[in-house]
Amino acid sequence: MKTWTVKTIVGPDHQVTFKVPNEVPVGPVEMVLVVQPTSEAMASLKDRGWTETQATETRARLKSFDADWNAPGMEAYDAL
């Protein structure tokens, strides 16, 4: 697994488009998306002392929540 930081702008239609690096294989891939609102003053994970290894391991641990997080009915928690 490789990690990249992609900065983009979410438009009013809530859709984004971005070019992935050429080393991403053509065909089916799984992408993990972490959305973090940004500003010029916000520090990156690297600026906060995280290594790429720590970020990758954290993403891998959070992946175990995917099935529960996206289960039918979980959208009710969005209103809390």
Express each pLDDT in 28-53 by its tens digit.
888 787 777 766 556 678 877 888 89
DSSP calls for 23-55: TSPSS------------TTPPPTTTTT--HHHH
pLDDT of residue 1: 66
Q: Is 8 within a domain?
A: no
The arithmetic mean of pLDDT across residues 50-64, rounded, is 88
pLDDT band at 4 (very low <50, low <70, confident <90, very high): confident
Residue 71 DSSP class: S
Residue 18: the pLDDT is: 77
In terms of residue numbers, what domain contains 54? Answer: 43-71
49 occurs within a structural domain:
yes
- What's the number of domains the chain is made of? 1
Instruction: Please indicate, yes or no, if residue 22 is contained in any of the structural domains.
Output: no
The structure's pTM equals: 0.36
Q: Which own/partner contact pairs does 41-45 have at CB distance under 8 Å and 24+ positions apart? A: 44/5
Mean residue pLDDT of the chain comes to 79
Position 54 in a domain: yes
Assess if residue 2 is contained within a domain. no
